Amino acid sequence: MAQVEVNLSALFTELNKHGQNGDYDRAIKVTNKILKAAPGDKKAFHCKVICLIQQSDFRQALKVLQDNSNLSSELTFEKAYCQYRLNAVRDALSTIRDTINPDIKLKELEGQVLYRLEEYEDCLDVYRDVIKNTSDDYEEERHTNLSAVTAALQIWGDKNVDDY
Amino acid sequence: FPPNFQPIPCKPLFFDIAFNHVEFPSLEDKVEQKKAAGGGLTGFVKGWLWGGKK
């Protein structure tokens, strides 16, 4: 038993290293090893899903999320992101809206989903909220997206939007 | 013919910022077990040395 504990923390150390290096190919193999020894490990499972998304294997990522509902209940952002990238934009929106107390990651994604759905007014509200409540390295990108929404509203929404 | 050119709006730039949130969860607690054990052992040895000095 003690042997297994030691092995697991060594595996997690290895996983952490590969994750930091962006070596998702190696990282996913480690997650598989961990999940073989500890099938209920939510963190290892989470890392596995992240690896699949990083490798642009959204179909497989969504599949493992759906096949392991016991491990994936908290991974709504990852699920919605896969649906978004697989162009199942309506599904992505329901995934996001079914989440109680969505965090800022989900709101960010909701903005992108609404843009894709051409629901620009709701999208604008989401972006205003997200911009108000974030401070990270992506402020400029967020403002670029906001401009795109504003432009879309002006062109297709038949609506004047104030500059701010 | 040929028909006249007509201006159309260009597709604005739109970033996928959400992708930046696709990252590993913190594995601190999982990795730490090893460190904690090491700290515990060092603490034990230190305690023993201190004890010896007294």
pLDDT of residue A112: 98
Tell me if chain B has a CB within 8 Å of the CB of A88. Answer: no
Q: Which of A11, A12, A116 to mutate: most B Cβ within 10 Å? A: A12
Closest CA to A120 of A147, A80, A88, A83: A147
Q: How many CB pairs under 8 A join A and B?
A: 74
* Surface-to-core class of residue B48, CB atoms within 10 Å of its CB (0-12 exposed, 13-18 middle, 19+ buried): exposed
Q: pTM for this structure?
A: 0.83
pLDDT of residue A119: 95
pLDDT digits (tens, 9 = 90+) for A15-63: 999 999 999 999 999 999 999 999 999 999 999 999 999 999 999 999 9
pLDDT of residue B37: 46
d(C-alpha A75, C-alpha A47), whole Å: 11
* B31 to A43: CB separation less than 8 angstroms, yes or no: no
Contacts of A140 (CB under 8 A, 6+ apart): none
Q: Which residue numbers in chain A have pLDDT < 50?
A: none
Q: Which of B30, B33, B34, B35 to mutate: most A Cβ within 10 Å? A: B30
pLDDT of residue B48: 52
